A and B are shown apart, each in its own frame.
Chain A
């Protein structure tokens, strides 16, 4: 058996049904084997998007997504996709071709040290030197990327290794993983005591809540100890947001009720979060008065950003069960006064964002999406203000899912991720909420979507600017708008039509609902280009490097609780 054949068989052995990739000179033997394999290959138009598609696929199925690229430029193009997955702990197996070992290091055609380039952005990577190693490395790779904290892995596969013979013994050789300590619950009793004594407990859920699918358990814990649940951007959707105890996202553009509750409580139970600066605000101000119980699967996250915590290491599902088991038999406080205060805050924060305006206001788009998307819809976003509007206002209720590039903030992530998500869950409605800047980075994938019959829909918030940067320049750089005007925006409707997809332009809010409904019915990928008001700011905002006490609310926010500074932005007439 050839090395390439062995590689494909290993993919099949691990249940891989779809691979996203782009062929090239250094992975021809591999593609030759894929030709006769049962694995469905999705040809992308740019390798970066292969990474994003595998990422979106993995986030829906919680199983490794596979992407393939060739050596040299193929590998370097893949870097952004892999780094995005690394920051959001998404399991990806990335395979790159490489020049033959005989010429490696000689600056051969399309040679790049992919092994060295990928090293800081993967959990582990391998460069296979002889064909007999192929089965072991592939088995190890699939183990590593889903063992403990998920993360991408990378295999560099030289051309001659793909061509060489693999011995039968090597194929049959089973991989036995090294035993590593995964759990550390030695401080469980401390954690239970903290939670038991708490008068105002809050549960903060991060991306770990989604990866371990521990939503129902977290809600059980929350009901048991009488703690409201707030989420980070990555944790959004880990618990259904229509539950009365779930307050929504915290952080830079989070809901005021969530941020306020998190900072007012006396005990934080942090589940699967790494305390990113975008969630906490100024780190030295965060959690000063609170006792913090920090649960994470990765022991290096404990006390990394926020120190003086009671750390529990282990999979969220297991640890939350252990906490519930430990707390169940104790006489817990009812927490009625605390929950009543939180409920009052929640009412204070619940605004009607069904704003009317011409051009359309972005909040209105989210309002319509909340109303019109099915209860199992998947919403992906790119990066920018539209992402933050979606974070703030989109209602991830019931089985809905929210997929976004939180850690790395990769513009152009949403559209390929939506394609990956749709391939993973063909029966669900998948929509990408995009900005005009982000979409232009990856809109070539309309070709992939059309060709593979992946009927995703894209809603573009088209304001003609790189809105998030524009807003920051307005607020903190005295309105010196440097390089944020996108100038003449291409006609997105015509672009969609050029790729054989459907395009709808919306300029008045009355047309919005019909367009969204139409995009669900369309039998080709569908783009809805909505012209929005470019002067609408994404508020409230916790300014970068500032604490939760310094949130700028803006004229539309109805929040009255907590101490906040006056908005520097003039009220809109």
Chain B
């Protein structure tokens, strides 16, 4: 599974701009996750896909004015999670059950999770 982690402006229409990049290149996104983040006025979006060209979308996404940061995360994991613990932001990847367990163990911490649509 390939994951793109995006920091974006929080506002209406942002998701449309992001998905338009993939529409233009005929890439289907398997998983979309979006939610508020620690920075004010910003949101974090996680996109996952199996498409071979998915990685090359990093530069295309940087062109979108509302996208502040793009990070490409390649892993063979089934699932991916981003957890905000008191110690800071950390990423968890691995088998779906493992990720679930790790997220569970961080009791009360805010998190977002993505599962590969396999």
Which residues of A line the B interface, CB within 8 A?
Answer: 115-116, 119-120, 123-124, 127, 144, 178, 298-300, 302-304
- What bracket does the count of chain B residues touching chain A fall in? 10 to 19
| Residues of the B chain whose Cβ atoms lie less than 8 Å from the Cβ of A120 | 20, 24
A119 touches B62 (CB 8 A): no
Docked complex Cα distance between A127 and B17 (Å): 14
B63 touches A119 (CB 8 A): no
Contact with A along B51-76 (1 / 0, CB 8 A): 00000100110110110100000000
| Residues of the A chain whose Cβ atoms lie less than 8 Å from the Cβ of B66 | 124
From known contacts A119-B13, A119-B20, infer whether A300 and B65 are also in contact, taking CB-CB under 8 Å.
no
A299 touches B24 (CB 8 A): no
A144 touches B65 (CB 8 A): yes
| Residues of the A chain whose Cβ atoms lie less than 8 Å from the Cβ of B60 | 300
Contact of B65 among A116, A124, A302, A303 (CB under 8 A): A124
B16 at the interface (CB under 8 A from A): yes
Contact of B68 among A127, A178, A303, A304 (CB under 8 A): A178
Chain A nearest CB, measured from B108 CB (Å): 33
Could you list 8 A-B pairs, sorted by A, with CB under 8 Å? A119-B20, A120-B24, A123-B65, A124-B66, A178-B68, A300-B60, A300-B63, A302-B59
Chain A nearest CB, measured from B93 CB (Å): 27
With both beta carbons as reference points, the residue of chain A lying nearest to B17 in the complex is identified as: A119
B13 touches A299 (CB 8 A): no
From known contacts A119-B16, A120-B20, A120-B24, infer whether A299 and B65 are also in contact, taking CB-CB under 8 Å.
no
| Residues of the B chain whose Cβ atoms lie less than 8 Å from the Cβ of A304 | 59
Docked complex Cα distance between A521 and B59 (Å): 51
Docked complex Cα distance between A115 and B16 (Å): 11
Which residues of B line the A interface, CB within 8 A?
Answer: 13, 16-17, 20, 24, 56, 59-60, 62-63, 65-66, 68
Docked complex Cα distance between A68 and B7 (Å): 33
| Residues of the B chain whose Cβ atoms lie less than 8 Å from the Cβ of A299 | 59, 62
| Residues of the A chain whose Cβ atoms lie less than 8 Å from the Cβ of B68 | 178
Docked complex Cα distance between A115 and B62 (Å): 20
Chain B contact residues: helix, strand, loop or mixed: helix
Task: How many A-B residue pairs have C-beta atoms within 8 angstroms? Tell me.
Answer: 26
Closest 3 CB pairs of A and B: A300-B59, A124-B65, A300-B60
| Residues of the B chain whose Cβ atoms lie less than 8 Å from the Cβ of A123 | 63, 65
With both beta carbons as reference points, the residue of chain A lying nearest to B23 in the complex is identified as: A120
Docked complex Cα distance between A300 and B57 (Å): 9
Docked complex Cα distance between A191 and B35 (Å): 42
Docked complex Cα distance between A438 and B59 (Å): 36
Chain A nearest CB, measured from B72 CB (Å): 14
Docked complex Cα distance between A119 and B18 (Å): 11
With both beta carbons as reference points, the residue of chain B lying nearest to A140 in the complex is identified as: B65
Chain A nearest CB, measured from B25 CB (Å): 10
| Residues of the B chain whose Cβ atoms lie less than 8 Å from the Cβ of A119 | 13, 16-17, 20
| Residues of the B chain whose Cβ atoms lie less than 8 Å from the Cβ of A300 | 59-60, 62-63
Name which of A298, A300, A302 has the most chain B CB atoms within 10 A of its CB. A300
With both beta carbons as reference points, the residue of chain B lying nearest to A153 in the complex is identified as: B65
A115 touches B13 (CB 8 A): yes
| Residues of the A chain whose Cβ atoms lie less than 8 Å from the Cβ of B24 | 120
| Residues of the A chain whose Cβ atoms lie less than 8 Å from the Cβ of B17 | 119
Docked complex Cα distance between A120 and B64 (Å): 10
B63 touches A298 (CB 8 A): yes
Chain A nearest CB, measured from B17 CB (Å): 6
Docked complex Cα distance between A298 and B62 (Å): 10
| Residues of the A chain whose Cβ atoms lie less than 8 Å from the Cβ of B56 | 303
With both beta carbons as reference points, the residue of chain B lying nearest to A302 in the complex is identified as: B59
Name which of B60, B63, B68 has the most chain A CB atoms within 10 A of its CB. B63
Given known contacts A119-B20, A123-B63, A298-B63, what 14 new A-B pairs fall within 8 Å (CB)?
A: A119-B13, A119-B16, A119-B17, A120-B24, A124-B65, A127-B13, A144-B65, A299-B59, A300-B59, A300-B60, A300-B62, A300-B63, A303-B56, A304-B59
| Residues of the B chain whose Cβ atoms lie less than 8 Å from the Cβ of A127 | 13
With both beta carbons as reference points, the residue of chain A lying nearest to B64 in the complex is identified as: A124
Chain B nearest CB, measured from A446 CB (Å): 37
With both beta carbons as reference points, the residue of chain A lying nearest to B60 in the complex is identified as: A300
Docked complex Cα distance between A115 and B14 (Å): 12
Docked complex Cα distance between A528 and B71 (Å): 57
Chain A nearest CB, measured from B14 CB (Å): 11
B62 touches A116 (CB 8 A): no
Name which of B24, B59, B62, B68 has the most chain A CB atoms within 10 A of its CB. B59
Docked complex Cα distance between A116 and B62 (Å): 20
With both beta carbons as reference points, the residue of chain B lying nearest to A124 in the complex is identified as: B65
Docked complex Cα distance between A116 and B24 (Å): 15
With both beta carbons as reference points, the residue of chain B lying nearest to A147 in the complex is identified as: B65
| Residues of the A chain whose Cβ atoms lie less than 8 Å from the Cβ of B59 | 299-300, 302, 304
Chain B nearest CB, measured from A95 CB (Å): 18
Docked complex Cα distance between A124 and B60 (Å): 14
| Residues of the A chain whose Cβ atoms lie less than 8 Å from the Cβ of B20 | 119-120
Chain B nearest CB, measured from A146 CB (Å): 13
Chain B nearest CB, measured from A129 CB (Å): 10
With both beta carbons as reference points, the residue of chain B lying nearest to A127 in the complex is identified as: B13
